[in-house]
Structure 1
Amino acid sequence: MTKRLIKNGQCLIDGRLQVRDILIENDQIKMIGEHLNEPADQIINAQGLFVSPGLVDVHVHLREPGQTDKETVKTGSLAAAHGGYTTIAAMPNVLPTPDTPARMRDMLALNKRDGAVHILQYATITTDRGGDEIVDMAALKDAGAFAFSNDGNGVQTAGTMYQAMKQAAQLNMAVVAHAEDDSLTYGGVMHEGAVSQQLGLPGIPSVSETAQVARDVALAAATGVHYHVCHVSSAATVQVIRAAKAAGVNVTCEVSPHHLLLSDQNIITDNAMLKMNPPLGSETDRQALISGLLDGTIDMIATDHAPHTDAEKAQSMLKAPFGITGSETAFEMLYTRFVADGKFSLAQLINWMAVKPAQIFNVEAGSLRVNNTADLALFDLTTPHTISRDEFLSKGHNSPFIGEQVMGQTVRTIVDGQDAFVSQPVI
């Protein structure tokens, strides 16, 4: 039996920071209290550090198999650990897609073998994430699928989504949607508006997202499925989800850090580091997303970590792929811009990044309690730190936040009682 004692860490107790010690035995939290003096094989001095439940990210792209030049299960999960995440959910837009039980079992085996954190695995809604042939949802659930998503693509046919929702509801499984009507995107590369016109770049109207969410909440109401909307980006979409929740529809949603932190006003040149899907909206959209978080319309924050190669992102927005990395910068950027500035409380941020994702998706994570699995993260909330690409453990460096000075750097991440990430110098 291995015992580790975390001493003098600041934990959120009843919404405020209080000093506590935490005793870990093997992979479980055994005691949380003041001035613990239990014998231990290792004592970790967490003086001045925030000890948080491990963060939970329900939306990452690990790129393996098929695109290992961008990321692997190993590098992507190490990046998550670097960001303080102990549980992540991997989207199925890999090659081949996990759309059969055999492929799902292969993915789960790979995730378990190479993962530095707990990895939940999405299955697709339709075969190969396209068309109208719905996968064998029951068999994929039995094989270990976490939920169903065609992320990267919207389900274009309403009848297909309706039938998929009916099946998923019978299985008590979530349908997790990338909402995008392809007939409304017009080959755009950024949000359609004054900035896209100034830059001479083709725009994507935000109604491409909102129209499909409006369709889907009607289908969700008819089927009773748990419908979860990925990366909400527009004020109009927030309004649709708010109304659906008020009407009793079983809908939840997430927002990405970059949509909270940036708007199209930040795009002053043709810069592919700021190209993501859905695109950065207007400042009005950004403020609506913040308001949606604060009033409970938006349930959680998920990174949509989407690594690409340096060469791909060195191109014009016209040719570069959509997506930015997020696992390693999410907490520190959000803490610095919102908590340190007094807009959010630390308890709110942890609720959105750990507690709510675990609760909504019924995952055993997101809280520090005796007898829970020892998944936690230690953050330095006071020492300024400059984000550097050299510190990234992801293969992807496609982040607009490189060079930002932040607080909230991850010092240590513990998964199943063992170190998944430790910064230097080791404390």
Structure 2
Amino acid sequence: MLLLIKNGTVINPGDKTEQKADVLVEDGIIKKIVSGQSVKADRVVDASDCYVMPGFIDMHVHLRDPGMEEKETVETGLKAAVHGGFTTVVAMPNTKPVVDNADVVNYVHNKGKNMGLAHVLQAGAVTKGQRGEALSDIEGMVEAGIPAISEDGKSVMNAQLYREAMTLAMKYDIPVLAHCEDINLVNGGVVNADETTEKMRLKGISNSVEDVIAARDIMLARETGAALHLCHCSTKDSVKMVEMARKEGIRVTAEVCPHHFILTSSDIRENDANYKMNPPLRTKEDVEALREGLKKDIMDVIATDHAPHTAIEKGMGIRRAPFGIVGLETAAALTMTELVDKGYLTVMQMAEKMSYNPAKILGLEKGVVEEGKEADLVVFHPGREYTINPDDFYSRGKNTPFAGKKVKGMVMATIVGGRVVYEK
């Protein structure tokens, strides 16, 4: 089958080129990128006024499957992914049961393949049951195809055990995706520790909760040589530490989520748990540092930390509700609206941070728009305006603080392996 994506502006972060061209796809592979030629095809996608970009890759997604299907399933999560322009997602292992062995990895991978939507790559837990006591079957999970190990949802507080895990990650050439949180410093906190949240009489989570573990993990990465990726960075000092580590030649990359580069604790609405996430919304100073870190390419990746919960759970109020918000279906528009349109990022940088860099970190042959490569693509209209409405989400989770926000940037089509899996 021949698929033609015509009249678009092709963004290829692989060689940093931007050109008006048509993209011809045959049997799932990009056959030609041409300009001014008449090409016949079995199916045509009109990309007028749109960017044709490599499909977005989300390194940080909670599919909740197995065990918490009332929140999300592999199917609903992947439907949300392609609605948001994501062609590959990395699923976190904090499910029930925890993904700490090859059998659970195979369950998620096989279920994902049967959906025929976005590619799903299941990360493996660092420790058995995520209890922090003994290492998971990392070798077996590598053989089953995990792209990384992660204890996301918590940190491995035993530094010696974590060093052993990093040594194995180095051996098997996979990155460690680090959730940086000193659980002893959290001390029951639910929001950022600052003047705004003190007025709400809510217990705070200080920046040091993240920074202490980030510093520890960077030192362990230096010692072991492992590739360390810091998840959902939220503090100004995380940016500083990543920059310093790079200068010393340590293999460290980092991601920022849209809620952390947009919102502050002062945006929290009284007792609205849609503003409760981990790490929490920080201060204006932190937000500006994260934006500058993205702008200067210190921070490599924009990820979502897509964390769906039921309406009942999120209706319990900030003190009692679980941490987390959804993000797959809003990330691209929020990035365009808050970073590209405001001059922090170019469109090319957006493609790098949402496609090219994640692919490099994960060792995937993706993230580019080039002849001979697999056709994982997104057709993205940068000028299309709309208002975010959770009722339009494909995800089971509707928990977002961005409901009612006006944004620019709409996914018009998502192509996975040469198949149009979503079209507006």
Which range, TM-score by smaller chain? over 0.9
What amino acid does structure 1 have at the position aligned with 2:27?
N
Q: Are 1:111 and 2:124 an aligned pair?
A: no
CA distance in 2, matches of 1:231, 1:292: 13
Tell me if structure 2 keeps the 8 A contact 1:98–1:107. Answer: no
Q: What are the superposed Cα offsets for residues 96-132 of structure 1, whole Å, 9 maximum, x if unpaired?
A: 1121122222222122223510111100000011222
CA distance in 2, matches of 1:292, 1:87: 24
Gaps of 5+ in 1: none
Tell me if structure 2 keeps the 8 A contact 1:273–1:324. Answer: yes
Tell me if structure 2 keeps the 8 A contact 1:73–1:115. Answer: no
Q: Are 1:189 and 2:190 an aligned pair?
A: yes
1:5 to partner: Cα distance: 1.1
Tell me if structure 1 keeps the 8 A contact 2:166–2:176. Answer: yes
1:21 to partner: Cα distance: 0.5
- Partner residue, 2:289: 288
CA distance in 1, matches of 2:193, 2:333: 30
- Partner residue, 1:390: 391
Q: 5 Å matches for 1:85-164?
A: 85-114=86-115, 116-164=117-165
SS of residue in 1 equivalent to 2:149: coil
CA distance in 1, matches of 2:109, 2:80: 19
- Partner residue, 1:7: 6
SS of residue in 2 equivalent to 1:57: strand
CA distance in 1, matches of 2:33, 2:330: 29
- Partner residue, 1:297: 298
Q: What are the superposed Cα offsets for residues 143-169 of structure 1, whole Å, 9 maximum, x if unpaired?
A: 211110010011111111111111211
Q: Are 1:230 and 2:231 an aligned pair?
A: yes
Q: Are 1:333 and 2:342 an aligned pair?
A: no
CA distance in 1, matches of 2:183, 2:393: 34
- Partner residue, 2:346: 345
CA distance in 2, matches of 1:400, 1:238: 24
CA distance in 1, matches of 2:196, 2:17: 41
- Partner residue, 1:84: 85
1:342 to partner: Cα distance: 2.5
What amino acid does structure 1 have at the position aligned with 2:411?
T
SS of residue in 2 equivalent to 1:6: strand
SS of residue in 2 equivalent to 1:383: strand
CA distance in 1, matches of 2:45, 2:218: 48
Q: What are the superposed Cα offsets for residues 322-342 of structure 1, whole Å, 9 maximum, x if unpaired?
A: 000000000001101221222
SS of residue in 1 equivalent to 2:307: coil
> Is 134-143 or 407-416 further displaced after alignment?
134-143
CA distance in 1, matches of 2:243, 2:194: 24
CA distance in 1, matches of 2:329, 2:246: 32
> Is 119-128 or 164-173 further displaced after alignment?
164-173
Q: 5 Å matches for 1:194-205?
A: 194-205=195-206
CA distance in 2, matches of 1:16, 1:224: 33
- Partner residue, 1:324: 325
1:268 to partner: Cα distance: 4.1
- Partner residue, 2:379: 378
CA distance in 2, matches of 1:104, 1:344: 36
Tell me if structure 1 keeps the 8 A contact 2:295–2:344. Answer: no
> Is 195-204 or 30-39 further displaced after alignment?
30-39
SS of residue in 1 equivalent to 2:214: helix
CA distance in 1, matches of 2:2, 2:244: 50
SS of residue in 2 equivalent to 1:384: strand
- Partner residue, 2:29: 28
SS of residue in 2 equivalent to 1:74: helix
1:297 to partner: Cα distance: 2.0
Q: What are the superposed Cα offsets for residues 162-194 of structure 1, whole Å, 9 maximum, x if unpaired?
A: 111112111212111111110000101001111
Tell me if structure 1 keeps the 8 A contact 2:90–2:123. Answer: yes
1:336 to 1:10, Cα distance in 2 relative to 1, 3 A = same
What amino acid does structure 1 have at the position aligned with 2:220?
L
Q: 5 Å matches for 1:35-54?
A: 35-54=36-55
- Partner residue, 2:403: 402
1:419 to 1:9, Cα distance in 2 relative to 1, 3 A = same
How high is the TM-score relative to the length of structure 2? 0.97
Tell me if structure 2 keeps the 8 A contact 1:74–1:115. Answer: no
Q: What are the superposed Cα offsets for residues 195-245 of structure 1, whole Å, 9 maximum, x if unpaired?
A: 110110000111011001111111111111111111011012222222122
CA distance in 1, matches of 2:49, 2:396: 31
What amino acid does structure 2 have at the position aligned with 1:210?
D
Tell me if structure 1 keeps the 8 A contact 2:71–2:396. Answer: yes
Tell me if structure 1 keeps the 8 A contact 2:62–2:92. Answer: yes
Q: What are the superposed Cα offsets for residues 235-266 of structure 1, whole Å, 9 maximum, x if unpaired?
A: 12222222122111111111111101111121
CA distance in 2, matches of 1:173, 1:351: 20
- Partner residue, 1:275: 276
> Is 335-344 or 350-359 further displaced after alignment?
335-344
> Is 15-24 or 53-62 further displaced after alignment?
15-24
> Is 202-211 or 114-123 further displaced after alignment?
114-123
> Is 10-19 or 294-303 further displaced after alignment?
10-19
SS of residue in 2 equivalent to 1:331: helix
SS of residue in 1 equivalent to 2:25: strand
CA distance in 2, matches of 1:215, 1:4: 49
* Count of residue pairs the alignment pairs up: 422
CA distance in 1, matches of 2:342, 2:218: 35
1:15 to partner: Cα distance: 5.0
